[in-house]
Structure 1
């Protein structure tokens, strides 16, 4: 006669087999990757190129879903509203994860989301409309001082890293400039080229076409870069000490996603970011692809959150 304890243990093991088998088969259908920005902006450009190769590494298509606006909350809600199974991922920019808003101020994103890996780190580039008679950071500072309240900085929204970059610039240069928030970077660049706004901090991928056309002028970058184009630009802190930061993109899943799924996703990211084609495509644009462990990404979120929260409090910025 079989031992009852043995039967109970066997039943428990057998009960776990379907779950283990399901995890081992992940992914067995397409994956959605939600980007908290409109199509055409820097996050979208990087995300779509990454998604193609990431899907190849996983063996399933990765479908990009754009959900812009709302400081990234609509995109976050899409992920939180889906099962914690690794089939709906979030690819936010650093500002979405580290800049507190009224909606998110009582929430810890690291309790809502499971970090997978860092994807990129890059400086922002300070550009001005070619219609503005300035060609260096110092000339922009002098122009802004001579025309108080007449220089408009565009950004993809209140509280984004581009907006906070402007606040750093404004504080260190001691100038009176105006922030004009948009719902996405692509429209800002269009208005920058036409002269409706005069300046912008943004990533090189979205700026390069207009820079190459001569519609906008690149003045400086917010941190050193090894990119073949950005490395030619001066570093902003050489003129304005303290104005230095990078922006990044990362990949997250819903909290509660099985550890073995997160591990498989992390391995696929590492494999994808080693692809020479991806690095060659964005090298000239100053985008550095960098993978990380989940813990390293979590630590980066905490560090940047502390930095931007302090700036927001000092500047008295209200982020809805």
Structure 2
């Protein structure tokens, strides 16, 4: 566990260290991109990460006059897709759009089939706050109802997630610890399949990001609380957990990474394009509809953010919070 965290830190240190690049690398950066780019999403189609990737990929394709192919490689809590990118040629033509599991997997998993140092940060897209939602057809109408069901019998409460070690998984475990209940965690290969079973009544709830607000307003879901300091502006009717006596502030993030060793000028060109995409009306509409707090910024800022998130989670694990997965 400690070794994995050290590897993450080494990856960030490599990014932050400036080095002279050969003339060939500079020439490649100037020509970049001269062929299609593959953007890997380590989740199944129809989830929020997939929506972000497709809208931003479309913009980059128009900006660079090339094709950006979004490829979904879901499963194993993002490990399949992440491992694929970690083994890709470091030339900027294979990128990863991932989320919280990138920082949690090295800490929560005993055997990771890739080295976190094999990837380098490009840009932090944005962050969100976890919101507990249940089906509008559920008999769980309030947070008290959910807690009561959880206390009725150990494991009686079933929470879905987009995969082991994902932010919905961790949010559920942290929430259960705070309220003193035992839950049954049901991992899926992405948010889309998890939502389908939530709508179908096969699970009780999920700690999703504000992307669920659209389904709440459409009457398909019922929001019972949000793990934020303040209420979300897109759903001011949803109370925070703190308002309901539960000390829980937690959320996910979304960001772009590339294989380590990708020339710094290429990383910078990708970063510039990604930052420009955040001002595009079509992209912004998708991000705003999901309730994402848009961030952007430099690769170095994203590296520092990842370092902070890793330290925070490691601190939770060291304090005794049971989040370890196989």
Q: TM-score, normalised by structure 1?
A: 0.86
Shift, 1:61, TM fit? 2.0
Q: Is residue 180 of structure 1 aligned with residue 186 of structure 2?
A: yes
Shift, 1:23, TM fit? 2.1
Q: Is residue 291 of structure 1 aligned with residue 299 of structure 2?
A: no
Shift, 1:224, TM fit? 5.1
Look up the match of 2:204. 198
Distance 1:196 1:168, change over 3 A: same
Shift, 1:117, TM fit? 0.7
Contact 2:242 2:248 in 1 (8 A): yes
Distance 2:287 2:237 in 1: 15
Distance 1:272 1:247 in 2: 21
Q: TM-score, normalised by structure 2?
A: 0.84
Distance 1:298 1:19, change over 3 A: closer
Distance 1:18 1:175, change over 3 A: closer
Secondary structure in structure 1 of the residue aligned to 2:277: helix
Match of 1:163 among 169, 174, 196: 169
The more displaced of 43-52 and 18-27 is 18-27
Deviations 1:244-274 (A, max 9, x none): 1121110111111111101111111111112
Structure 1 segments unaligned to the other structure (5+ residues): 1-15
Distance 1:91 1:182, change over 3 A: same
Structure 2 segments unaligned to the other structure (5+ residues): 1-21
Match of 2:241 among 207, 217, 236: 236
Look up the match of 1:104. 112
Distance 2:184 2:125 in 1: 32
Q: Is residue 218 of structure 1 aligned with residue 223 of structure 2?
A: yes
Look up the match of 1:3. none
Look up the match of 2:259. 254
Contact 2:104 2:165 in 1 (8 A): no
Alpha-carbon RMSD: 2.3
Match of 1:89 among 63, 86, 95: 95
Shift, 1:24, TM fit? 0.9
Which has the greater radius of gyration?
Answer: 1
Deviations 1:255-308 (A, max 9, x none): 111111011111111111122332233324311221021111111111111222
| Aligned residue-pair number | 302
Distance 1:145 1:77, change over 3 A: closer
Q: Is residue 59 of structure 1 aligned with residue 65 of structure 2?
A: yes
Deviations 1:187-233 (A, max 9, x none): 2211111211111111233x345434433211122225786533432
Contact 1:204 1:285 in 2 (8 A): yes
Secondary structure in structure 2 of the residue aligned to 1:123: coil
Distance 2:170 2:25 in 1: 45
